[in-house]
């Protein structure tokens, strides 16, 4: 199904999204990857606040290229989400709900998503030039010393995504692959008969 | 590049290392903005035989993405990689004007700055800390006959690099052992390396040479085949097997798990059969220049 959704990603909204849905996302999201996640979780451990309000927030796993003069942001496709698996349940426990990335997640992340009603969206990995076009505003908000890994607040319009894992734990990586293999299998069967 | 003749000596072509710096600066930018034509062709061919709505849609976006990068001269992918630099230096060339390694790193430094490319290198593997200029380059030099210097820049992203593998087989594992390992490595990589992938396979040599062969296999045109018909057939067979896995574009399910697979080999020891599988993505970049 194709859906246009406006952020923030509330619990109610999250529950309407299902693995395999094509989604066009509009609203404010936050960027963070390896080093930023480590710092945010260390801050939470010390009882400090995060650089942004995590409630119903969506985090984009991205380290963009530097913006050329006149650009809002450089190329900005997703990085491999699995490296954030150690931190994602902690961030969901304080209210963060949406994650945008690519690649497989650990079972403990999926369990946390079911518990906190999280959604894992896939952006097309390697399509950094295309995805940058959906980013209308970019503002550095913390950890500037991390360079490409610094925390940014982005405003995106109609960002093309696919729901990979939904809040019930359904997974497009598993379902999409087996659906394709079944279609090939049944196709072969038909040819034979 | 004036040739200098000294009395009683052979002619030796002199090349200033600053020319290598300039070429690397240019190639870093071009490689990151313009996908090689053979890679584009392979993606387009795969799009034509992909029926699934999600799979076809992903490939359409991948095509649109490299077209934007071409047109607007922006990086195809935000992971502008570690700069893998291959230098083939003619043995009749005398490099002058400074240290070659420093010249190569200066080219990378300038290219990544001027091209607004991402600096993705940390100075220590455990203690981390960004070097800030994407150096050092991963540099390989080879001495070849002739009086030219051939420079290849292959920016390598790590989403796919992380899914690569090497194994030291017993010779008794045979061809089947190699085949299974290639397919297993791709299957284990799954959606992580941004499929559709390009797969580079290195078989033989030593532990280190097998890995280098696999990387070099990624630099070879997807329109070419291994010159040995045995390995050319194996390339075709492995690509077909991989595309029966069903992982598909981005791992969402579909036919196109890989757009190409190249194999490079070397003789090896009587006791061994090393095999390395270097995984790359649909943004498999490389650009070559000759001085």
- In this predicted structure, the answer to whether residue A190 has a pLDDT above a threshold of 70 is no
| Arithmetic mean of pLDDT, A50-74 | 95
Q: Which of A61, A75, A175 to mutate to test the interface with B (most CBs of B within 10 A)?
A: A75
Contacts of A60 in chain B (CB under 8 A): none
pLDDT at A192: 42
Contacts of B130 in chain A (CB under 8 A): 146-147
| Cα A29–Cα A30–Cα A31 angle in degrees, nearest 5 | 130
Task: Express each pLDDT in B155-169 by its tens digit.
Answer: 999 999 999 999 999
Q: Do A68 and B116 touch (CB under 8 A)?
A: yes
- In this predicted structure, the answer to whether residue B2 has a pLDDT above a threshold of 80 is no
| Arithmetic mean of pLDDT, A50-73 | 95
Instruction: Report the distance separating Cα B249 and Cα B258, nearest Å.
Output: 8
Confidence of residue B27 (pLDDT cuts 50, 70, 90): very high
Task: Express each pLDDT in A9-19 by its tens digit.
Answer: 999 999 999 99
Domain boundaries, chain B: 13-32+76-156, 37-69+158-285
Instruction: Report the distance separating Cα A110 and Cα B198, nearest Å.
Output: 29
| Arithmetic mean of pLDDT, B201-222 | 98
Residue B112 · residue A112 · CB < 8 Å: no
Confidence of residue B9 (pLDDT cuts 50, 70, 90): low
Closest Cβ opposite residue A124 in set B61, B118, B130: B61
Task: Express each pLDDT in A30-52 by its tens digit.
Answer: 999 999 999 999 999 999 999 99
Q: Do A128 and B78 touch (CB under 8 A)?
A: yes
> Position of tokens 């999250």?
A14
H helices then E strands: how many in chain B?
8, 10
Mean of per-residue pLDDT scores for chain B: 95
A131, closest residue in chain B (CA to CA): B65
Question: Distances from the Cα of A191 to the Cαs of A174, A185, B245, in angstroms?
Answer: 26, 10, 20
A68, closest residue in chain B (CA to CA): B116
Instruction: Report the distance separating Cα B1 and Cα B282, nearest Å.
Output: 38
Domains identified in chain A and CATH numbers: 2-192 (3.20.130.10)
**Alpha helix locations (H) across chain B?**
17-33, 37-48, 53-72, 100-114, 158-161, 174-189, 207-219, 229-242
Q: Do A68 and B192 touch (CB under 8 A)?
A: no
The proportion of chain A whose per-residue pLDDT surpasses 90, expressed as a percent, equals: 91
Looking only at the bridges linking them, the beta strands covering B149-156 and B82-90 are antiparallel
Instruction: Report the distance separating Cα B184 and Cα B180, nearest Å.
Output: 6
pLDDT at A89: 96
Q: Do A103 and B252 touch (CB under 8 A)?
A: no
- For chain A, what's the residue count? 193
Q: How close does chain A come to B234, measured CA to CA in Å?
A: 23
Q: What is the DSSP string of A2-52?
A: EEEEESS--HHHHTT--TT-EEEEEEEEEE--HHHHHHHHHHHHTTPPPSS
pLDDT at B196: 97
Instruction: Report the distance separating Cα A87 and Cα A106, nearest Å.
Output: 11
A161, closest residue in chain B (CA to CA): B58
| Arithmetic mean of pLDDT, B117-128 | 94
Question: Distances from the Cα of B272 to the Cαs of B200, B226, B267, in angstroms?
Answer: 20, 22, 10
How many interchain CB pairs under 8 A, A with B? 154
| Helix, coil or strand: residue B130 | strand
pLDDT at A193: 38
Contacts of B74 in chain A (CB under 8 A): 65, 68, 71, 74-75, 129, 132
| Arithmetic mean of pLDDT, A105-122 | 97
* Phi, psi dihedral angles at A21 (to 5 degrees): -65, 140
Q: Do A74 and B65 touch (CB under 8 A)?
A: no
Confidence of residue A171 (pLDDT cuts 50, 70, 90): very high
Of the CA atoms within 13 Å of residue A131, those in its CB half-sphere come to: 31
Instruction: Report the distance separating Cα B204 and Cα B200, nearest Å.
Output: 14
Q: In what order do the strands lie in the sheet with B82-90?
A: B138-144, B82-90, B149-156, B287-290
pLDDT at B8: 55
Contacts of B75 in chain A (CB under 8 A): 65, 74-75, 128-129
Query: Minimal CA–CA distance to A21: which of A40, A5, A1?
Result: A1
Residue A180 · residue B165 · CB < 8 Å: no
> Position of tokens 């710096």?
B21
Rg (CA), chain B: 20
Confidence of residue B112 (pLDDT cuts 50, 70, 90): very high
Of the CA atoms within 13 Å of residue A41, those in its CB half-sphere come to: 17
Contacts of A148 in chain B (CB under 8 A): 78, 118-120
* Phi, psi dihedral angles at B147 (to 5 degrees): -130, 35
Contacts of B80 in chain A (CB under 8 A): 65
The proportion of chain B whose per-residue pLDDT surpasses 70, expressed as a percent, equals: 97
Contacts of B162 in chain A (CB under 8 A): 80
State both tokens at A5.
């959704």
pLDDT at A107: 97
pLDDT at A87: 97
Task: Express each pLDDT in B256-288 by its tens digit.
Answer: 999 999 999 999 999 999 999 999 999 999 999
| Helix, coil or strand: residue B9 | coil
* Phi, psi dihedral angles at B47 (to 5 degrees): -60, -40
Contacts of B281 in chain A (CB under 8 A): 125-126
Q: Do B247 and A177 touch (CB under 8 A)?
A: yes
Q: Do B54 and A65 touch (CB under 8 A)?
A: no
Instruction: Report the distance separating Cα B63 and Cα B69, nearest Å.
Output: 10
């Amino acid at each position: 199904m194709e859906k246009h959704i406006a952020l923030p990603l509330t619990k109610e909204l999250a529950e309407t999204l299902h693995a395999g849905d094509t989604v066009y996302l509009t609203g404010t999201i936050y960027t963070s990857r390896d080093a930023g996640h480590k710092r945010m979780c260390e801050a939470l451990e010390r009882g400090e606040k995060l650089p942004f309000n995590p409630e119903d927030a969506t985090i984009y796993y991205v380290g963009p290229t530097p913006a050329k003069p006149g650009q809002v942001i450089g190329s900005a496709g997703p990085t491999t989400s699995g490296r954030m698996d150690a931190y994602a349940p902690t961030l969901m426990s304080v209210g963060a709900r949406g994650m945008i990335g690519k690649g497989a997640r650990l079972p403990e992340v999926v369990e946390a998503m079911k518990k906190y009603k999280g959604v894992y969206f896939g952006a097309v990995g390697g399509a950094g030039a295309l995805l940058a076009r959906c980013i209308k505003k970019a503002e550095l908000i913390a950890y500037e010393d991390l360079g490409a890994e610094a925390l940014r607040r982005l405003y995106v319009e109609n960002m093309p995504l696919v729901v990979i894992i939904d809040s019930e734990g359904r997974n497009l990586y598993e379902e999409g692959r087996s659906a394709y293999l079944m279609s090939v299998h049944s196709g072969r069967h038909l040819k034979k008969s | 590049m004036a040739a200098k003749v000294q009395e009683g000596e052979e002619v030796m072509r002199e090349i200033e290392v600053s020319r290598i710096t300039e070429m690397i600066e240019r190639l870093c930018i071009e490689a990151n903005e313009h996908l090689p034509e053979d890679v584009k062709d392979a993606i387009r061919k795969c799009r034509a035989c992909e029926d699934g709505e999600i799979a076809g849609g992903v490939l359409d976006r991948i095509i649109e993405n490299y077209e934007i990068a071409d047109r607007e001269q922006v990086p195809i992918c935000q992971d502008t990689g570690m700069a893998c630099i291959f230098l083939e230096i003619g043995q009749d060339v005398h490099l002058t004007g400074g240290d070659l390694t420093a010249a190569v790193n200066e080219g990378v430094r300038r290219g990544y700055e001027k091209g607004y490319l991402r600096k993705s290198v940390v100075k220590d593997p455990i203690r981390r800390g960004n070097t800030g200029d994407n150096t050092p380059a991963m540099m390989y030099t080879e001495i070849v006959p002739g009086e030219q210097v051939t420079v290849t820049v292959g920016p390598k992203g790590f989403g796919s690099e992380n899914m690569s593998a090497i194994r030291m087989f017993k010779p008794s594992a045979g061809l089947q052992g190699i085949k299974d390992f290639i397919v297993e490595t791709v299957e284990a990589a799954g959606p992580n390396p941004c499929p559709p992938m390009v797969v580079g396979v290195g078989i033989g040599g030593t532990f280190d040479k097998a890995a280098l062969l696999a990387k070099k296999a990624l630099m070879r045109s997807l329109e070419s085949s291994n010159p040995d018909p045995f390995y050319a057939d194996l390339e075709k067979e492995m690509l077909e097997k991989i595309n029966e896995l069903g992982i598909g574009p981005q791992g969402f399910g579909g036919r196109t798990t890989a757009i190409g697979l190249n194999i490079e080999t070397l003789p090896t020891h009587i006791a061994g059969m090393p095999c390395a599988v270097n995984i790359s993505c649909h943004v498999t970049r490389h650009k070559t220049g000759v001085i």
